[in-house]
Amino acid sequence: MKTLLTITVLFASLTVAAQPSYYFTTNTLLSGTDRQQGAVYRFSSVKSGVDAIVTIDTLTGGLSLDSLDVKNLGFDAAFQPQIHIGAHATGYAQFNIAFVVSGTFTPSTQINMPVTGIDIDGHIATGDTLAEYDQVNLAATGTLYDNPSTTQISVTTSGSWITARNIGGVEYTGVDTLGKDVMFTVVNPSTTSFKVRTGVDNRSGSTVSRNSSVFFQKFNYLYSILPLSSLVGFTGNEKDNNVKLEWNLATSNILQSVSLEKSTNGSDYNQVNEYWLNIDGDKTTSFHYNDVPSSSVVYYRLKMVSTSGAVEYSNVLSFRTASETENKFKVYPTVINSAATVQFSSDKETASMLQMVDYTGRALYEQQIQMTEGINNISISNFGRMPAGSYIAVLRSADKIYTQKVVIK
């Protein structure tokens, strides 16, 4: 009973700690023309008793807004404009965000307000290069809370503006707080308003639309878990004896080939298919494969060969028939060197959150996971960047919490 109570209190504290400080979900146009310079919007109930008045201050470089606040990507809790800019152009959208008492225009002072720029990524290819950047102005009292030690973004300060600019050229899939290499956080101890810019330096010959995300929460950058290898993600789903595998590579990968390998005993692997990469300018980074297993247990992995001949293997994805699946949630191996696989059986499509929690209750790693009906397998790399020790792997679905003890060496 005492152990159960301790775990319950731990999960409750984690839930509170993981909550964003503000929620930007519902907005109404107050004046001006929608998505044009000078337009003013009210975001209702961004916090208890507080609204936000958002003004489009400036649109530069011929930039326009496809959407003021995208709802089907990223996070409802974030302010997420989608910008559109022409070929060989550089520009930004500047927004003024002011906090007021709900239903009024009376300023409301916000204490220790965090602002985090997310997904400040880029793209590097011959004739097709761009770099995103975010700028936050929290006046003279604003301070840079934290940013990762990374080769992906450069964070600089000029006057009251703090700028994070992509320099690495790696394009990340979607908008996710897992990508801490392309995030930074600024905190103001006391303010009623601030300005934020989201922009892009587009050196390509095509017009582009780019997503931006401003999240009102602090993040721990110390142990960010990011793909250091050419593999960004390797996932699979099994339903009705049909296995669907998907994997994504970093845009800047230097691989010459990727082979999908299969095993029925977890030791002896045979090549299923081989994919040759980076030929004649082809920069394909997303792949999928469907398989119908002939045995009740099957294993898959990727063999990646670089242009120098170096070989790297992905983590292993394992599937069993529904009749042989005993546990809904499993992390293997339980003693982790740098990579592990998360397996979860779901009876419906649902969004879940995976966390690695130490025994003081700190979540040193978290990732949003989209589950589909059936047996899901997700390979996660670079746990080796976390401190060695014992952890609790936590998976939170819409209505349940699953846990498993793991050790990181």
- ∠96-99-100 over CA atoms, to 5°? 130
β partners of residue 85: 208
> Of 112, 130, 113, which Cα lies nearest the Cα of 121?
130
- Amino acid at site 311: V
Strands 153-158 vs 50-59: parallel, antiparallel or unpaired: unpaired
> Of 56, 125, 118, which Cα lies nearest the Cα of 92?
56
Residue 156: other Cβ atoms inside 10 A: 11
Rg for the chain, CA atoms, rounded = 23
- Residue 325's pLDDT band, with cuts at 50, 70 and 90, is very low
Would you say residue 133 has pLDDT above 90? yes
Task: Please give the Cα distance from 198 to 70 (Å, whole number).
Answer: 14
Predicted local confidence at residue 86, as pLDDT: 95
The two tokens of residue 279 are 């030929």
> Of 295, 307, 310, 312, which Cα lies nearest the Cα of 381?
312
> Of 316, 311, 374, 365, which Cα lies nearest the Cα of 340?
316
Task: Please give the Cα distance from 243 to 256 (Å, whole number).
Answer: 26
Maximal CA-CA distance, the chain: 69
Max mean pLDDT among 32-41, 114-123, 323-332, 383-392 falls in 32-41
Would you say residue 215 has pLDDT above 80? yes
Would you say residue 229 has pLDDT above 50? yes
Task: Please give the Cα distance from 375 to 49 (Å, whole number).
Answer: 43
Q: Are 153 and 168 in contact (CB under 8 A)?
A: yes
pLDDT digits (tens, 9 = 90+) for 192-213: 999 999 999 999 999 999 999 9
Query: Model-level pTM?
Result: 0.54
Q: Are 77 and 23 in contact (CB under 8 A)?
A: yes
Task: Please give the Cα distance from 114 to 130 (Å, whole number).
Answer: 28
CA distances from 230 to 39, 123, 242, 243, 249 (A): 43, 15, 27, 23, 6
- Amino acid at site 405: K
Mean per-residue pLDDT, 321-331: 61
For the chain, the residue count is 409
Give Cα 360 distance to the centre of its chain: 25
pLDDT digits (tens, 9 = 90+) for 241-267: 788 899 988 777 788 899 999 988 877
DSSP-assigned letter for residue 316:
P
Would you say residue 10 has pLDDT above 70? no
Task: Please give the Cα distance from 196 to 329 (Å, whole number).
Answer: 41
Task: Give the alpha-carbon dihedral of 183, 188, 189, 191, to 10 degrees.
Answer: -150
Structural domains of the chain sorted by starting position, each given as residue range(s) with its CATH number in brackets:
23-215 (no CATH), 231-408 (2.60.40.1930)
- Bigger pLDDT: 166 vs 353: 166
Task: Give the alpha-carbon dihedral of 205, 92, 222, 18, to 10 degrees.
Answer: -120
How much is the mean pLDDT over the chain? 81
- ∠176-256-181 over CA atoms, to 5°? 25
